[in-house]
Amino acid sequence: MDSVWYDGDAVGYLDQRALPREVVRKRARSVDDVVDAIATLAVRGAPAIGIFGAYGVALAAQLHAGDRPAFEAAAQRIRGARPTAVNLAWAVDRVLQSPGAEREEAQRIHEEQRDVDRRIGEAAIELFPAIGNVLTHCNTGPIATGGDGTALGCFVAAHRAGKKLHVFVDETRPLLQGARLTMFELREAGLPCTLIVDSAAAITMQRKDVRAIVVGADRIARNGDTANKIGTYGVAIAAAHHGIPFYIAAPRSTFDFAIESGDAIPIEERNADEVRIAADDPVYNPAFDVTPGRLITGFITEYGVLAPPYADAVPDLEHRPCLAALSR
């Protein structure tokens, strides 16, 4: 089920806020529509945001044909619609470097993601036991990526290869991407899965023999520090305590070699109403947190599984050959 698509004079998208109750297809006809769809998480998931943003820039090129300053201003508005996921900026910049071929470049980005997801899934299969429990956080399936999914795609690839995995899924407050989207996609793919509240992740590791944890990413710094959905850092700490391998599944486009560590990753804070229960509760609502690279067992990428010799202090990329492979 494609979650974003090019639709002639608009960019089509599934309004992910309505899933899984109903499938609502919409058309972004203006730059305002594109920015709003990203900012309200109607379109969400780092790679999907990048693909949608790329199509949005192609639409802006049509709407502002002959007016390059207006087109570039529109592209920058799309680029800044959500700050944490680097895929959006990466995709917008790629399309901006294709003057006159914006739509074709956006379609290339979309097609590439399908192949990238497939390669990520293939790389992950050997990481899982023949039979076992695994755990994930948030949503990283086809709806979030435009392909087979990243972390969720790893579980699906292992399942298709005959491995018997049971996936424990964090509901992922406050917007419940796990409960609403990951459970829906895993059931569609035929994988056994169990929903847990976020605060049950640690006891699930303690009592349910979780053998591996795989989550997605929104931005990965040179030292391996990784921004992902809020709650991921706590899962990583519990995984380290229980000696459970903790993997990040992400494409090359999620690595940001311009920043040395997670300290430089902008963390989006969102509307208090997403969390608020009583009318005037004071709320702190960061949408992401940053897991230090030293808590990450490996990065599952289209280049294979990168086993990090990460240490906070190691400054030079060449000292980490696994990341160097990505930066060429």
Ligand X SMILES: CSC[C@H]1O[C@H](OP(=O)(O)O)[C@H](O)[C@@H]1O
Q: Which parts are annotated binding residues for substrate?
A: 44-46, 82, 177, 228-229
Q: Is 140 in the site for ligand X (CB under 6 A)?
A: yes
* 43/127 with CB nearer ligand X: 43
Residue 218 falls in the annotated catalytic set = yes
User: In the set 19, 54, 74, 144, which binds ligand X (CB under 6 A)?
Assistant: 144
**Which residue's structure tokens are 């090359």?**
252
Active-site residue, from 117, 148, 170, 218 = 218
Residue 216 C-beta: closest distance to ligand X, Å: 3
Q: Is 145 in the site for ligand X (CB under 6 A)?
A: yes
The stretch among 24-32, 107-115, 143-151, 317-325 that binds ligand X (CB under 6 A) is 143-151
Residue 178 C-beta: closest distance to ligand X, Å: 10
Q: Is 218 in the site for ligand X (CB under 6 A)?
A: yes
Residue 47 C-beta: closest distance to ligand X, Å: 5
Q: Is 287 in the site for ligand X (CB under 6 A)?
A: yes
| Residues in binding site | 44-46, 82, 177, 228-229
Residue 249 C-beta: closest distance to ligand X, Å: 8
Catalytic positions, please?
A: 218
Residue ranges binding ligand X (CB under 6 A) = 44-47, 138, 140, 144-145, 150, 177, 215-216, 218, 228-229, 287
